[in-house]
């Protein structure tokens, strides 16, 4: 370190040396950082639309400023409580039922010995992630259609009564949860498998010598070893509790299940794009982001207070 004339230490040359040494890493991270800057940070500047009576012809600079009028309209919208309730209910179901599945899969794969069979199993459970929700919705329609679906044809052939899977309000949310598990559980297990590989194998060997079976090894070694990863993923999951999978709901909902299917992302699309009420759509989106930020912050604080790990 060099000293300035005042006697204080300067770390300029050292920092530049570190930058040159890790230049290749910075270049690799560059495209990802640029993506988030363009897609996530620049749009923040346009949140002013939520406080305007935005008109496309006038633009942002020419549209009238209305203050909190859009937020007052949001709070008095008779549809919004239903939309908010559907969003929270659906995401809570997904957290309770979907969140543990990648962990269970990762623990199962961790017990498999390296073999071609293990690679085949991993490929099979990872593959659905690469199907778009358009394809998944088409598959659901083909399998669960009341009259022509393969599932109902099988039920009818066995003397049962066909079930309206796609139009029954009591079944729809569970159907979304099950398809979410099928599509994303395998892909989500990758991060937990990576965390499990960081656990010292000698811990398992010592536990086996002491007479611990597989269940005790999982409970006392594997789960504590990935606890920090589980907590971070759980905190992020709570951050999306007022969000949701737009593609999944948009491609599967219909008028029969509208009252339980409409969530905030699809409501923003309907109000902001279909009805061209861009200011109202931006208001709903801003409300969603603020609530998500509060939930992430609160969950992170609670995790740290209870002795767990947090994001920061």
Q: Which two tokens stand for residue 146?
A: 């009341």
Instruction: Please state, in angstroms and rounded to a whole number, the distance separating the CA atoms of residues 87 and 92.
Output: 9
pLDDT at 11: 55
Structural domain contains residue 19: no
CATH of the domain at 122: 1.10.3720.10
Half-sphere exposure of 214 (CA within 13 A, CB side): 5
Structural domain contains residue 39: no
Structural domain contains residue 293: yes
Closest CA to 254 of 168, 178, 180: 168
Phi, psi dihedral angles at 3 (to 5 degrees): -110, 140
Could you give the 3-state DSSP secondary structure of residue 9?
Answer: strand
The range of the structural domain enclosing residue 62 comes to 48-305
Closest CA to 86 of 281, 267, 283, 306: 267
Structural domain contains residue 191: yes
Beta strands in 11-155 (DSSP E): 52-53, 64-65
Instruction: Please state, in angstroms and rounded to a whole number, the distance separating the CA atoms of residues 85 and 88.
Output: 5
Supply the angle between the helices 80-98 and 100-111 in degrees, to the nearest 10.
20
Q: Which two tokens stand for residue 255?
A: 């008028």
DSSP sequence for 192-242: HHHHHHTS-HHHHHHHHHTT--HHHHIIIIIHHHTHHHHHHHHHHHHHTTT
Instruction: Please state, in angstroms and rounded to a whole number, the distance separating the CA atoms of residues 131 and 234.
Output: 25
Structural domain contains residue 197: yes
What tens-digit pLDDT sequence spans the chain (312 residues)? Answer: 445 455 555 555 666 777 788 888 888 988 989 998 998 888 888 888 889 888 888 888 888 888 889 899 888 888 889 998 999 998 888 889 999 999 999 999 988 888 888 889 889 999 999 999 999 999 998 899 888 888 999 999 998 888 888 888 889 989 999 999 999 999 999 999 999 988 988 998 898 888 888 889 999 899 999 988 898 888 888 878 888 788 899 988 888 898 999 998 888 888 888 888 888 888 888 888 888 888 888 888 887 877 767 667
Q: How many domains does the chain fold into?
A: 1
Closest CA to 288 of 252, 263, 251: 263
Q: Is 273 exposed, middle or buried (0-12, 13-18, 19+ CB in 10 A)?
A: exposed
Instruction: Please state, in angstroms and rounded to a whole number, the distance separating the CA atoms of residues 18 and 3.
Output: 19
pLDDT at 13: 64
Structural domain contains residue 36: no
Instruction: Please state, in angstroms and rounded to a whole number, the distance separating the CA atoms of residues 169 and 213.
Output: 44
**Cβ(295)–Cβ(241) below 8 Å:** yes
DSSP 8-class letter at 112: S
Half-sphere exposure of 16 (CA within 13 A, CB side): 4
pLDDT at 129: 93
Q: Is 73 exposed, middle or buried (0-12, 13-18, 19+ CB in 10 A)?
A: middle
Structural domain contains residue 16: no
**Cβ(186)–Cβ(128) below 8 Å:** yes
Structural domain contains residue 167: yes
Is pTM beyond 0.85? Reply is no
């Amino acid at each position: 370190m060099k000293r300035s004339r005042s006697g204080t230490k300067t770390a300029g040359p050292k920092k530049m040396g570190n930058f040159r040494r890790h230049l290749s890493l910075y270049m690799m991270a560059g495209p990802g950082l640029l993506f988030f800057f363009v897609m996530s940070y620049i749009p923040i500047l346009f949140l002013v639309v939520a406080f305007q009576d935005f008109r496309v012809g006038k633009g942002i600079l020419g549209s009238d400023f209305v203050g909190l009028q859009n937020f007052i309209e949001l709070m008095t919208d008779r549809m919004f409580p239903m939309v908010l309730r559907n969003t929270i209910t659906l995401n809570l179901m997904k957290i309770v039922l979907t969140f543990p599945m990648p962990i269970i899969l990762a623990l199962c794969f961790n017990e498999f010995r390296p073999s071609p069979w293990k690679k085949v199993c991993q490929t099979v459970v990872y593959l659905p992630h690469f199907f778009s929700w358009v394809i998944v919705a088409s598959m659901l329609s083909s399998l669960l259609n009341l009259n022509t679906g393969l599932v109902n044809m099988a039920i009818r052939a066995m003397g049962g009564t066909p079930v309206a899977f796609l139009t029954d309000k009591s079944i729809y949310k569970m159907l979304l949860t099950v398809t979410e598990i099928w599509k994303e559980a395998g892909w989500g297990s990758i991060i937990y498998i990576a965390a499990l590989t960081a656990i010292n194998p000698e811990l398992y060997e010592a536990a086996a010598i002491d007479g611990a079976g597989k269940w005790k090894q999982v409970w006392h070694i594997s789960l504590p070893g990935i606890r920090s990863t589980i907590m971070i993923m759980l905190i992020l999951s709570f951050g999306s509790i007022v969000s949701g999978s737009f593609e999944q709901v948009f491609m599967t909902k219909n008028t029969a299940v509208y009252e339980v299917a409409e969530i905030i992302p699809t409501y923003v699309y309907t109000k902001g794009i279909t009805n061209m009420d861009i200011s109202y759509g931006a208001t709903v989106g801003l409300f969603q982001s603020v609530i998500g930020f509060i939930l992430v912050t609160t969950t992170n604080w609670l995790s740290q207070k209870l002795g767990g790990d947090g994001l920061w």
